[in-house]
Structure 1
């Protein structure tokens, strides 16, 4: 638990999840000490805290907030006027850019954000560098906010109505127990940051229903993903639980670990955070495009009603999300995150620990970003909510989008098409 009178730590944020952090913030004083040597990390944590406490109900909308805030910070810190203190200018610019974005998109957090901004600025020397940095940060934040108006990534647009197809073999239908309306259909209609079109990397169709691969996929989920599975080990169940939560939440700590070990300064850290989240917004857009282009039914529907040994009572370990199977959104996120982290920080890292709000008391240790992606593949099968084909296709889609974003990054930082 967080000690009385203090803000939740970043580990608390990751471990407790948004609802618990919201409760913690309700009683915590609105103060956080700014460390001049780590302004980027201070505002990284503030961004995570803000979204945990006042974020949107849709993950991609929260990813958008990260992307806008840190793209503005990266642009504002990229060049420094001649004759001014470089560090003071960049730190003021970063803080002002992230602050302006978060106050605009999460106004309920204004008091806390204002306090943190004052503390950051108080740690900098008075003078022209600080004043120019503040102005640059606010200007760039407003420019990016203006450019993203009406981009279709607000919660209402993200969950635009989807006309469910008539029942037919292979086609998605609402899934038990809630048989809820489809979600995230609107992502494929949204404006990406860098992709030329949401369909740019649309996947080839999933395995045919009469293929050996499809039969193998279904048999694997049936055996290992059932609520009452006798094939799934305790460790595998833990894996399914560990990766069940929001990908954005689960990857906040790995990115922070990478940043904290990076030798780069303020401007480069802002750029790294921006690239990560722009890639992940565009990945989520591309994911929904492929999902709703192929409309593949979920394993629970296939196993209960399909032609291969139907079992109307089969139930997955975890409740199936309300959107099509192919590809897995968790693995597209994991694939993109792996690609960006590996490109920016190297494929391997010193050991770091990770916790999950869905698996309290469990800590896992990693030394490569690939390990996180591999576990995501297995977790969605073990949860009974995705096929291996959907998971592996997701990894590749995420990597493709991330590689494209990294290859075209210069467009982001020169006020290109965003």
Structure 2
């Protein structure tokens, strides 16, 4: 899809999406009561507070999962605070106070450096709510649920230090991951596979099968594609492909935070369902990244840059020659090729958004990119993002197509499981 293009969505929301919403966020929730004074969208308000807080946190890029964890904890607390058995029969003021207090309490614990900003945001929300029993109860329940979720997730192995735990690479050999240029730094995200999932029974529950054998037809075609289209300055790559590659060098957590915000803003569902959407999205993305680390470090498959530079180094592929100067269009992240983390993220995000909103938004979503300033892309269906991410990581020279396709499958599998099991978190 080209820059700025819009494809109008003609796919109606199906019965499967309705069932998924009922399972995940309780379709029995009552519609909010109208209140007399001018109102703000408390979900969108605290979504923006959450984004500002998490983005300002001292969390390295190598621990993206820690950011999703902060979102998951705070919004799961909010969803629990306004679940039907607590909110039914309560005025709208209760829900507003409960959401604000739950997210405020959780983020105050997780990002204490933003305490002043969080306190100011809470004061703004509570200042709109008339003093009374509903407000007091909302504040109390919101805080209680935040403390409950925080306690449950204590020492879950998703702090940056644990996520990036030490990983000694195997002895150099064909197919075995080794630190990649230009820094040849230590592996990152290897510790995520030991973390406590939210809903997976085990990090290995959806472990992928092995990547193609060295020298196989698929292996050879994968490398041939990335060698030609993923090399820096490739003459075979079109300008559009280059722009797509640059656009999706950005963090998937940052990109999809904007996508999810658009879905939240457009949603006309009851407040509980909207808050639940943010919660289960981030829960599923935490579990997906844990599962990604499990598969990555189980197989520890070398990156294209390593494979291409050592093409005849006993890898069973005598039909190619090494290219010691081959350099990918983008800098290779310091973790194995299989599966692609960008694509596990995209696959999981697509699965959650499709289950909860249908095949795409009511109005096409436009997002930008920190790695392609001034570039904006518009999407009318969630699958369009996945398709672009899949191609982009090949055109960047970072992954084989097999690693990208397997990543999408893994992400979808984890997300679909978490959607089915989400009721466990909201009891």
* Structure-1-length-normalised TM-score: 0.89
Runs of at least 5 residues in structure 2 that lack an aligned partner in the other structure: 1-37, 313-319
Partner of 1:377, secondary structure, is helix
Partner of 1:164, secondary structure, is coil
Equivalent pair of 1:80/1:90 in contact (CA under 8 Å): no
Question: How far did 1:239 drift?
Answer: 0.4
Distance in 2 (alpha carbons) for counterparts of 1:228 and 1:257:
35
Partner of 1:151, secondary structure, is coil
Partner of 1:37, secondary structure, is coil
Question: Counterparts in 2 of 1:214-225, with a 5 A limit?
Answer: 214-225=219-230
Worse overlay, 349-358 or 188-197: 349-358
Does 2:313 align with 1:309? no
Distance in 2 (alpha carbons) for counterparts of 1:265 and 1:322:
42
Distance in 2 (alpha carbons) for counterparts of 1:199 and 1:119:
44
Give the number of aligned pairs: 381
Distance in 1 (alpha carbons) for counterparts of 2:235 and 2:385:
25
Gap change, CA 1:244 and 1:144, over 3 Å in 2: same
Question: Counterparts in 2 of 1:316-335, with a 5 A limit?
Answer: 316-335=328-347
Gap change, CA 1:114 and 1:82, over 3 Å in 2: closer
Question: How far did 1:86 drift?
Answer: 2.5
Distance in 1 (alpha carbons) for counterparts of 2:255 and 2:356:
19
Cα root mean square deviation, aligned:
1.4
Does 2:216 align with 1:211? yes
Equivalent pair of 1:84/1:129 in contact (CA under 8 Å): no
Equivalent pair of 1:54/1:108 in contact (CA under 8 Å): yes
Question: Counterparts in 2 of 1:2-401, with a 5 A limit?
Answer: 36-57=39-60, 58-79=63-84, 85-307=90-312, 308-349=320-361, 350-401=363-414
User: 1:412 aligns to what?
Assistant: 425
* Structure-2-length-normalised TM-score: 0.87
Tell which has more relative contact order, 1 or 2 (C-alpha 8 A, sep 6+): 2
User: 1:21 aligns to what?
Assistant: none
Equivalent pair of 2:87/2:94 in contact (CA under 8 Å): no
Equivalent pair of 2:80/2:426 in contact (CA under 8 Å): yes
Partner of 1:408, secondary structure, is helix
Runs of at least 5 residues in structure 1 that lack an aligned partner in the other structure: 1-34
Question: How far did 1:398 drift?
Answer: 0.2
Partner of 1:327, secondary structure, is coil
Question: How far did 1:36 drift?
Answer: 3.2
CA shift digits 1:229-278 (9 cap, x unpaired): 10011111110110111111000111111111111132211111000000
Partner of 2:337, secondary structure, is coil
Distance in 2 (alpha carbons) for counterparts of 1:268 and 1:127:
25
Gap change, CA 1:82 and 1:61, over 3 Å in 2: closer
Question: How far did 1:321 drift?
Answer: 0.3
User: 1:3 aligns to what?
Assistant: none
The runs of 4+ residues in structure 1 deviating greater than 6 Å are none
Question: How far did 1:117 drift?
Answer: 0.3
CA shift digits 1:296-321 (9 cap, x unpaired): 00000000012232101100001100
Question: How far did 1:126 drift?
Answer: 1.2
User: 1:18 aligns to what?
Assistant: none
Partner of 1:343, secondary structure, is helix
CA shift digits 1:309-344 (9 cap, x unpaired): 210110000110000000000000000000000000
Equivalent pair of 1:55/1:62 in contact (CA under 8 Å): no
